Chains A and B, each alone.
Chain A
Amino acid sequence: MNLEKVIFAFFIVLALTLNFGFFIGDIADPVHHNVYELFAAIVVSLIATILKFGDRTHIGAVLLATSLVADLQLIVAAIVWGIVEHVSQTGMTPHAMAAIVSLSGGAVLANVTSVILLVTETVMVRR
């Protein structure tokens, strides 16, 4: 058992699960989407990205790319949230909530890709 692999797989899968938890529910209903979950998803996703820095294998490079995509989507979602709450005077609207959740939905896809790559690599190694 390799501790590095455990930690990395933990963060990759955790990023997906947290993100999925935030994403699931009625897309325009703020009640279904918890801000703490989004925050946790961003932090975990950032850590997963940093863990992949400097991996010079091909699959490492693709994993870095997918987690960068997830970071980008989630951070944009957070920025949209911030703008809606504090910059525009409207407060949270169903329309804005839908935009935030769909951005996180994109991040879910990227996270799923990461997990698929991780599983593929594990199956290929079979050790």
Chain B
Amino acid sequence: MGNHNIVFVLLRRLHSPLIALVCVYAICILGFVLIPGVDDNGQPWHMDFFHAFYFVSFMGTTIGFGEIPYAFTGAQRMWATVSIYATVVVWLYGIGFLLTILQEPGFKQLLSQTSFRRSVKRIREPFYLICGYGDTGSKLVKALTESDITAIVIEIDAERVNTLELEDNRIFVPGLCADASIPDTLLMAGLKQRNCVGVVALTNDDAVNLRVAIASTLLNPGVRVIARAETRDAGDNIASFGTSQVINPFETFAGRLAMALHSPGTFLLHEWLTSVPHEKLTDPIFPPHGKWILCGYGRFGKAVYERMVAENLQVTIIEATPETTNAPDDVITGRGTEAITLQKAEIDKAVGIVAGTDDDANNLSILMTAGELNPDLFMVARQNSRSNDAIFAAADLDLIMRRGSIIAHKIFALMRTPLLAKFLDLAREQDEAWANLLISRIGGVIADNPPVTWEVSINIDDTPAIQNRLATGDDITINNIYQNPQNRELDLPCIPLLIRRRNTQFILLPDEHLLLEASDQILFCGRRKAQDMIKWLTNNPYVLNYIITGEEHPSGYLWRLFSRLNQKRIAKQEFK
């Protein structure tokens, strides 16, 4: 796109009105100079250029001031009449032309691009580039800004860019209305800037996400790329050239739902650890086992069905168009919104129902009809659009799966703490009892707000106090890190979830007596207050010393000297 200069573009477009203005002025001025006049003594007199320019200037813009310096002759008045019309017309032409240019969509776009580019260049802190500002994108941007992480948005739909501008974000989020699949757009959004740490491709077109991933990997090899892919083919394709993370919304979504049904504890753990700041904590759910009804057998329905069958649940499918969706033979044809279809699916014997069509109104209608037929049903709704939040909340359902927010939460967690993804993988392999125990432990440390997760790396830059102490050969247990610096008898409100040791070894829920090693990475979850405290004690050697030994060492030279003398004195007395 090169380096557009707004002023030059404007001047080039204004060629003809400017030239017309110069010519008309020149002709009028020349006319006044050439036409003879009469001075106050009746002597012939010629207007000079200075007075002609003066007269034409005020005549063109105001038509006031009268005839100066002497009253005009008939010929001069005739010329003045011509000049008035000529200058007024040429001014109107010029100003009208200018206004037309300023109103042009192309020029407006140029203006917004210029201001966008300027605000991107002004960003100094690390930022994420978000392509696509739909349900997922907006949720993600909200979560990022709440945690003081800068984001830049590219979105092809102008209306959505407008909603971004109207959104009340804590940090200013520059948004550009452009096609993210064009590499120039990504470059304009600062892809090559050194502080661009990640690109998230969230558009609803797999081909666009693929192009974004390719462009980002090639143009800025160090950058983290997280891409959304709706089909497995596209997902494999994107993953094949080293994209950091590929997320399939249907799989993730169905996986979560299946997890909620078969292991509510693990599900709750996921919900809590991937929740975004200032959200309400999810309450635990207890889905029953038995016969389930699944309405809708699209991409989402298929993924849910696969998982449920794998869980040995008995599932009856209701689908409006079984032929086009390749539904199994025992499918019941119908939309599920009318009682007769639900009765055919033996709703009175079912324990739960999943309304999983891609139409929010239908989903609600299914559940309301089902609720009338069998009030004890466990009701799960799929919510497609964020704008329906209010009605879904009012419907009093047991579980609402919001597609946008599940994906946004997952990406947000990945961005903030890469170790969390590993932890959640490991957690999925544990049994339900393990998850419930951990849930109650986490519940014990946090208040009403969702837990915060963060990483602590043992190295000289992030945790100099720990690193230096380890280098001298002292033993530091994991518990030392989260003892309260104000009172070492107490622990900070946090739990170490996972340690990555020497990049390959993972220790899940480390024992509190575990000894730390250099270059360990520890994943914590807990309250934000604990995070700040841990930062303090891992950076400040005196605080760390108090935690480990229980003694407070003086920090200044003078006090250190005093205490040494004091110790010698005590030693002498003891010796005596």
Footprint of B on A, CB under 8 Å? 35-36, 39, 43, 46-47, 50-51, 53-56, 78, 81-82, 85-86
- B218 part of interface (Cβ distance < 8 Å): no
Query: Would you call B50 and A82 a contact (CB within 8 A)?
Result: yes
Range of interface residues on B (Cβ < 8 Å): 10 to 19
Contacts of B49 in A (CB 8 A): 35, 39, 78, 81-82
Query: Would you call B22 and A53 a contact (CB within 8 A)?
Result: no
Query: Would you call B19 and A50 a contact (CB within 8 A)?
Result: yes
> From residue 15 to 46 of chain B, which have CB atoms closer than 8 A to chain A?
15, 18-19, 22-23, 26, 29-30, 33
Query: Would you call B23 and A54 a contact (CB within 8 A)?
Result: no
**Can you list 25 A-B pairs with a CB-CB distance of less than 8 A?**
A35-B49, A36-B30, A39-B26, A39-B30, A39-B49, A43-B22, A43-B23, A46-B22, A47-B23, A50-B22, A51-B15, A51-B19, A53-B8, A53-B11, A53-B14, A54-B8, A54-B9, A54-B12, A54-B13, A56-B8, A81-B49, A81-B50, A82-B49, A82-B50, A86-B50
Determine the residue in chain A with the shortest Cβ distance to B22.
Answer: A46
Contacts of B14 in A (CB 8 A): 53
Determine the residue in chain B with the shortest Cβ distance to A55.
Answer: B12
Minimum distance in angstroms from A2 CB to a CB of chain B: 16
- B48 part of interface (Cβ distance < 8 Å): yes
Contacts of A47 in B (CB 8 A): 19, 22-23
Contacts of A50 in B (CB 8 A): 11, 15, 18-19, 22
**Which label, helix, strand, loop or mixed, suits the secondary structure of the B interface?**
helix
Minimum distance in angstroms from A15 CB to a CB of chain B: 13
Minimum distance in angstroms from B94 CB to a CB of chain A: 12
Footprint of A on B, CB under 8 Å? 8-9, 11-15, 18-19, 22-23, 26, 29-30, 33, 48-51
Determine the residue in chain B with the shortest Cβ distance to A39.
Answer: B49
Pick the most buried of B8, B9, B29, B51: most chain A CB atoms within 10 A of its CB. B8
Determine the residue in chain A with the shortest Cβ distance to B48.
Answer: A85
Closest A-B pairs by Cβ, 10 of them: A54-B12, A53-B11, A82-B50, A43-B26, A50-B18, A46-B22, A54-B8, A53-B12, A50-B19, A54-B11
Contacts of A39 in B (CB 8 A): 26, 29-30, 33, 49
Contacts of A54 in B (CB 8 A): 8-9, 11-13, 15
Query: Would you call A85 and B11 a contact (CB within 8 A)?
Result: no
Q: How many Å lie between the Cα of A51 and that of B18 in the bound state?
A: 9
Q: How many Å lie between the Cα of A9 and that of B9 in the bound state?
A: 22
Q: How many Å lie between the Cα of A85 and that of B53 in the bound state?
A: 14
Q: How many Å lie between the Cα of A56 and that of B5 in the bound state?
A: 10
List 5 extra interface pairs beyond A35-B48, A86-B48, CB under 8 A: A54-B13, A55-B12, A85-B48, A86-B50, A86-B51
Minimum distance in angstroms from B384 CB to a CB of chain A: 48
Minimum distance in angstroms from B36 CB to a CB of chain A: 15
Q: How many Å lie between the Cα of A36 and that of B47 in the bound state?
A: 12
Query: Would you call A53 and B50 a contact (CB within 8 A)?
Result: no
